[in-house]
Structure 1
Amino acid sequence: MYSPAKYERLSHQAQALKGLNCFGELVLLRTDFNVPLSKGPKGELSVSDATRIDAALPTVRLLLGKGAKLVIVSHLGRPEPNKASLSALRLTHGLNPVFSVLKERLGAENIGFVDSCVGPVADTAIAQLQSGQALLLENVRFHVGETQNDLDFAKQLSKHFRIFVNDAFGVLHRDDASVTGVAKIIPNCFPGLLVAKEVHILSGLFLRPRMPLVVLIGGAKVADKMGVVGKFCETASKVLVGGKMAFTFLAAKGVLVGATQVDEPHRFEEARNIEKKARSYGVDFLLPSDQVVAANLEGPLPTAIVPLTLACCTSPLEPCIRDGFVGGDIGPKTVKEFEDVIQTACTIFWNGPLGAYEMPAFSFGTLAIAHAIAAATKKGATTIVGGGDSSAAVHEAGLTAADFTHICTGGGASLEFLQGNMLPGLAVWT
């Protein structure tokens, strides 16, 4: 488990990075450039959302401004090097699209790219770096040693460097070679500005939130989020649960959910205990009171809105989700109830969509809540979006990072952190 004292130490180390004399020094920077890509008319890939790239730029510019010879490593996606050739991997998971964005942001004269991360080609490119220049290396996950945290691979990545900066918040929960392996080899290690900012903001949800604190958890991945919901049941004013996540809690209460897939039904007892915990702490725990349903989530989608109450389990006059039908979005009553709660909040944390927002028939709830949280930001609330699908939903709603106090750059890492787990990538400093 983590403690406030550990946060303070991390903050001090980030300040030390600002005072670091690294002119002419080779510096290894781990970033998280795992960004979404889109295909052009000729099949060419380009970055469709550069949020994570832009979030890392303050650290990049800081180090370049100090005259560092900056070498940047990252992963992109989940390539399978055991199943495909390097040339095939580069076509689908190469960092060339990221390099195109970096050239626009930094200037083509300030950054180069090489299509390997270790070996003679990378060594030669690194040796040719000048002070104030950056070099982006190819996807570290093209090597099996990355995810296996192989010592030999970590040594290859580390061999040129005395300074390592990790600004990849989104992979701090990974025990990978470029995250923890190199940190055990390179003598001088620092958190980047983004990592320090993420830790400061997320820890503030427990250490110093402005109350009322409203927490909204949606999406799927019940196993990943149950601990977060339970944790906030100790500290939040209100906890709202929607999306696929909600059906575990609804089914655990005996609400009929039709053909809606309920993830991990063995967690029903845990779900009931979480609700009991919320009551014991005086925390309001809200589940959807209605749902937009359809016969399936594919093809034509004629939809209906049904209530979700315990009464409907026994009364034919109050239908729930009938057999053969699935829930795809929170209904208008739930949207209004959640919006009313959001308007009362001084601090809001949101992680996970409220339905299958990628489909127009099921997008209203998620997009409406995104706009409600953005409106709360304008009124002075501190609003934190938990990354991952939530970040994508923000863009789908036509909103940007400027409409919120903070959008996390790592969904999985933020969930692990909020559960109180020490992340491997943080443990090297604490």
Structure 2
Amino acid sequence: MGWKTLEAMDFAGKVALVRVDINVPVSDGRVTDTTRIDAVLPTIRAIAGSGGKVVLLAHFGRPRGKVVPEMSLAPIRPALADRLGAPVAFAADCTGPAARKAIAALQPGGVLLLENTRFHPGEEANDADFAAELAALGDVYVDDAFSAAHRAHASTEGIAHLLPACAGLLMAAELKALESALTAPERPVVAVVGGAKVSTKIDLLRNLVRKAEHVVIGGGMANTFLAAQGVAIGRSLCEPGMEDTVHEILARAGEAACTLHLPRDFRIAQDLEPGGEMRIATDCPPDWMILDAGPDSVADICAVFDQCRTLVWNGPLGAFEVAPFDTATVEAARHAAELTRAGKLVTVAGGGDTVAALNQAGVAREFSYVSTAGGAFLEWMEGKTLPGVAALDRG
């Protein structure tokens, strides 16, 4: 990639327009989880420490081009200032007189949060005039919102063509981690793909069987693969009508010399309830459900991890939200973390359920890199070009 990093830019005395993702949960006017805020603090501090004026561009919710008071970024400013440990100014618009006045009042090293970019229809339309209005506010553009990089919006793509542009520290770390996972990985590579539906991850599977030596399939997706091969799955979650897709993916894997791993034993139950009867089985009776991979399957997965040098993980192996059907995910994740600590495995994971599952296993901080990007992480893994990343590539 030809994108620049912060170190390549001079921020002294300049206005840096910094695109961040601080689309955080808010309840009763208060931020309840500062994870995304914390993630962008290093970039803010680096620019401010270099004497730049930090002007934050961000979205919140889906106001669809209209001013929706409940989706104002104003309630996020106090939490941002608290986590930053410094004052944060706020402007009631992201363009126009309010934004210009607030930027003019900002001192070098100061931080300003502009109002929700999605209050303007030109944002999601990637309107050239709106992008130009944004660009006119600053001297330099910094994109630190990988999680929004799959959207070709004015503040994520359009503006990058109008100003000297670079990746923020979070964006650069994300891109480096993803490139190490699939673009130029240490081999062999194993990918874990879980979740409920094959239909939502067809492109991902098609790409991964070409890039990885091993693909482990778990969750409800595994049931669909098993059913397509004639395995009885009882009342398990399954997508009917996906047989042709399953056989196509199996054929692609065979052509690419990629080994697909499906569970060979299961944790089954009649209901998805904590404390209910659970059995370990190699088949599933008609009135039971497969809710997690069994111990032999977990041993198989861990053995594959032992053979590999790079792990890419997206999606849980079972219904991890309800114990004991989190067992396979937790045990496999902890084994991967152990290998990571020993320097034997590079581990990159992403996706909302994945992050939650790794947190539940207590190992999210022990993986080489855990992305909270969601859709952008998935599209990268699918081999798609992300507009917000491509716009930074001037090389």
Could you state the TM-score of these two structures normalised by the residue count of structure 1?
0.82
Kindly indicate whether the alpha-carbon contact (under 8 Å) linking 1:224 and 1:415 is maintained by their aligned counterparts in 2: no
Q: How does 1:107-146 map to 2 (within 5 A)?
A: 107-109=85-87, 111-146=88-123
Write the letter of the residue equivalent to 1:291.
F
Give me the whole-angstrom Cα distance separating, in 1, the residues matched to 2:348 and 2:26.
26
Q: Is the 8 A contact 1:388 1:411 kept in 2?
A: yes
Partner Cα distance (1:44, 1:332) in 2:
45
2:152 is aligned to 175
- In the alignment, which residue of structure 2 is the partner of 1:407? 370
Counterpart of 1:312 in structure 2 is none
Contact persistence 2:189–2:311 (CA under 8 A):
yes
Q: 1:13-412 maps to which residues of 2 (within 5 A)? A: 13-14=4-5, 17-35=6-24, 37=25, 39=27, 43-48=28-33, 50=35, 52-79=36-63, 86-90=68-72, 94=73, 96-97=75-76, 99-109=77-87, 111-184=88-161, 186-220=162-196, 222-263=198-239, 265-297=240-272, 302-305=276-279, 307=281, 319-323=283-287, 325-380=288-343, 381-401=345-365, 403-412=366-375
Distance verdict in 2 for CA 1:307–1:300, change over 3 Å: closer
3-state SS in 1 of match to 2:176: helix
In the aligned structure 2, how far is the partner of 1:19 from the partner of 1:204?
22
Instruction: Give the Cα–Cα distance (whole angstroms) in 2 for the partners of residues 49 and 293 of structure 1.
Output: 37
CA distance in 2, matches of 1:300, 1:350: 26
Q: CA RMSD in A?
A: 2.6
Q: Deviations over 1:38-95 (max 9, x none)?
A: 75xxx45323251x3333233222211221111112223445566xx623334xxx46
* Contact in 1 for aligned 2:71/2:116 (Cα 8 Å): no
1:234 partner SS: helix
User: 2:169 and 2:257 mapped to 1: Cα distance?
Assistant: 37
Distance 1:194 1:252 in 2: 41
The SS at the match of 2:210 is: coil
Contact 1:18 1:62 (C-alpha < 8 Å) held by counterparts: no
Q: Distance in 2 between matches of 1:392 and 1:147?
A: 29
Q: Distance in 1 between matches of 2:90 and 2:271?
A: 46
In the TM superposition, what is the alpha-carbon distance from 1:428 to its structure 2 partner? Answer: 1.6
Q: CA deviation at 1:115?
A: 4.7
Asked if the contact 1:386/1:411 (under 8 Å) is kept, the reply is yes
Q: CA deviation at 1:301?
A: 6.0
Any unmatched runs of 5+ in structure 2? none
Please state how far the C-alpha of 1:30 moved relative to its aligned partner: 0.6
TM-score by length of 2: 0.88
The residue type equivalent to 1:18 in the other structure is E
CA deviations 1:181-201 (Å, max 9, x no partner) are 2224x3322222322332222
Contact 1:55 1:194 in 2 (8 A): yes
Taking the aligned partners of 2:370 and 2:62, their CA distance within structure 1 comes to: 23
Instruction: Output the CA distance in 2 between the equivalents of 1:247 and 1:292.
Output: 12
